[in-house]
Amino acid sequence: MPIGKPSQSTVAVHKRRPSALQISILAGLVPMLLLIASHAFADAGLWRSEGWKTDFSKSSIEFNEILSGGPPRDGIPSIDNPQFVAAKEVTNLGPLEPVIRLDIDGDIRAYPLQVMTWHEIVNDEVGGTPVAVTYCPLCNSALVFDRRVGEQLLDFGTTGKLRNSDLVMYDRQTESWWQQFTGNAIVGELLDTDLRMIPSRVESFERFVKANPDGKVLVPNNPNMRRYGSNPYVNYDSRGAPYPLFRGDLPTDIGPMVRVVVVKQDGEPKATTLTHLRDQASVKLGDVELTWESGQNSALDTGRISEGQDVGNVVAYKLNADGSRGDEAVYDVTFAFAFLAFHPEAEIIQE
């Protein structure tokens, strides 16, 4: 950006070797300028120039909360015609590799994170229910939604945008934008609509195939399309903070990258650290019981998902009036920074 001809005094300063202090100041200005630039371009005018037909007059958020994640719309392509094989026939998954397990009316399927990492959304129909199986690696958030809104059937793609480091989805019918972390429409015609969450769990492939040898396992439509099995976010688990794509306030009373287990009760989210659940093996949050068992690789640790650290398997059960376990409940294992970004007043049980 042109700034005009410098004065003689400025030229003289520029001829001198910059001091350590000046270098430090300049280094500090770079991220600030990038931040201003990203906010300046986060507006409806630019987005319309990208070809969006979204109704940007309807929004529940400030547009500068949304940042580009890098890829364009559908640059991370959803899987719209998923292909499956029987679990007992799968040979390319490590025994402890994580899969999203979904069971609707006895139709049991697994969606490996080694595939979900590269596609983030699968539009599918399971047990007669149209679903969107989703995974946001930057928040480690795996959630399944019913794709029906009233009489309308939606299918979803990736906008290429992030809010609080979380995937912003869009539906191809109205081009409304949806927050993956909450299942809520944040921009567009369907503003403030909530997708119904469907219980699922993330477990090791070994656990899945042992219980469901004939269960269906998602496989890539084109095995050479991506580096399936590899983790593009190497050492993400070991970071002290999320990538700079997250521009919110980081928590001070808990590590930003601490894994937390989140359940919803009466619309109010409740959470505990994964470490606390691991130490107790079972924790009750309201009318939901969480359990933990070892034996599942992290998808965000080493370069190969099958070699990731053991983060264990979590299952969430609704509790009946007599205290016995009932159906499975909706839960998510995510990072503390993401949970508190969307639920800043919520409490996380740490001990």
User: What number is the average pLDDT over the span 335-341?
Assistant: 98
Name which of 19-28, 121-130, 155-164 the model is least confident about. 19-28
Reduced 3-state DSSP string for the chain: CCCCCCCHHHHHHHHCCCCHHHHHHHHHHHHHHHHHHHHHHCCHHHHHHCCCCCCCCCECCCHHHEEECCCCCCCCCCECCCEEEEHHHCCCCCCCCEEEEEEECCEEEEEEHHHHHHHCEEEEEECCEEEEEEEECCCCEEEEEECEECCEECCEEEEEEEECCEEEEEECCCCCEEECCCCEEEECCCCCCECCEECCEEEEHHHHHHHCCCCEEEECCCCCCCCCCECCCCCHHHCCCCCCCCCCCCCCCCCCCCEEEEEEECCEEEEEEHHHHHHHCEEEECCEEEEEECCCECCCCCCEHHHCCECCEEEEEEECCCCCEEEECCEEEEEHHHHHHHCCCCCEECC
Q: What's the number of domains the chain is made of?
A: 2
Q: Same structural domain for residues 105 and 208?
A: yes
Q: Same structural domain for residues 53 and 193?
A: yes
Whole-number pLDDT of residue 201:
98
Q: Give percent above pLDDT 90 in the chain.
A: 83
Q: Same structural domain for residues 142 and 190?
A: yes
CA angle 67/73/78 to nearest 5° reads 115
Domain final position from 189, 219, 249: 219
Q: Same structural domain for residues 198 and 264?
A: no
Indicate the burial class of 70 (C-beta count within 10 angstroms; 0-12, 13-18, 19 or more): exposed
332, pLDDT greater than 60: yes
For 316, the token pair is: 């969430």
Q: Which amino acid is at 73?
A: R
pLDDT tens, position by position, 194-227:
999 999 999 999 999 999 999 999 999 999 999 9
Q: Same structural domain for residues 287 and 340?
A: yes
Q: Same structural domain for residues 120 and 243?
A: no
Q: Same structural domain for residues 201 and 303?
A: no
pLDDT tens, position by position, 262-317:
998 667 899 999 999 999 999 999 999 999 999 999 999 999 999 999 999 999 99
Q: Same structural domain for residues 183 and 272?
A: no
User: What number is the average pLDDT over the span 335-340?
Assistant: 98
Q: What is the mean pLDDT of the chain?
A: 89
Domain presence at residue 34: no
Q: Same structural domain for residues 99 and 156?
A: yes
State the CB neighbour count (10 A cutoff) for residue 309.
13
Q: Same structural domain for residues 207 and 326?
A: no
pLDDT tens, position by position, 106-116:
999 999 999 99
Q: Same structural domain for residues 213 and 65?
A: yes
Q: Same structural domain for residues 194 and 71?
A: yes
Domain presence at residue 226: no
12, pLDDT greater than 60: no
Whole-number pLDDT of residue 44:
78
9, pLDDT greater than 80: no
pLDDT tens, position by position, 144-187:
999 999 999 999 999 999 999 999 999 999 999 999 999 999 99
Which domain does 61 fall in, by range?
48-219
